[in-house]
Amino acid sequence: MELAKRQCAPCRGDTPRLTGEEIAPLLSELDGWQVSDERLRKTFRFRDFAGALAFVNRIGEVAEREQHHPDIELAWGRVSLAIWTHAIGGLSENDFILAAKIDALDRPA
């Protein structure tokens, strides 16, 4: 399906949440993401704060282009993300598309 090549679609409050059956194949296309509390979650590790901050800035650029914004926690050597569709209080295809685009970003070691 190549999620990273797709674009996030505008979401409305009446967009249905994805079911477990729908989530499983999308999750299998991602690298190391987990579903917890109806959110996609992943932590990325870096050698230092500067590398983590640079990655956050790249995530911000993608999020703005897609008009879909993750919750980001930045700490020394670590970036933790939680992605879900706020308008529906759960997961939509947009969340998986954004996660795939984040996975495709270049990262410092």
| Percent of the chain scoring above 70 in pLDDT | 97
| pLDDT value, residue 109 | 58
Tell me if 26 sits within 8 A of 100, measured CB to CB. Answer: no
- Classified by CATH at the fold level, domain 18-103 comes out as Gyrase A; domain 2 (3.30.1360)
Domain ranges, ordered by start, for the chain: 18-103
SS (H, E, C) 54-67: HHHHHHHHHHHHHC
- Number of other residues whose CB lies within 10 A of the CB of residue 5: 10
Tell me if 15 sits within 8 A of 85, measured CB to CB. Answer: yes
| pLDDT value, residue 8 | 86
Mean pLDDT, range 21-29, rounded to an integer: 95
Predicted confidence band of residue 105 (pLDDT cuts 50, 70, 90): very high
Reported pTM: 0.93
Predicted confidence band of residue 1 (pLDDT cuts 50, 70, 90): low
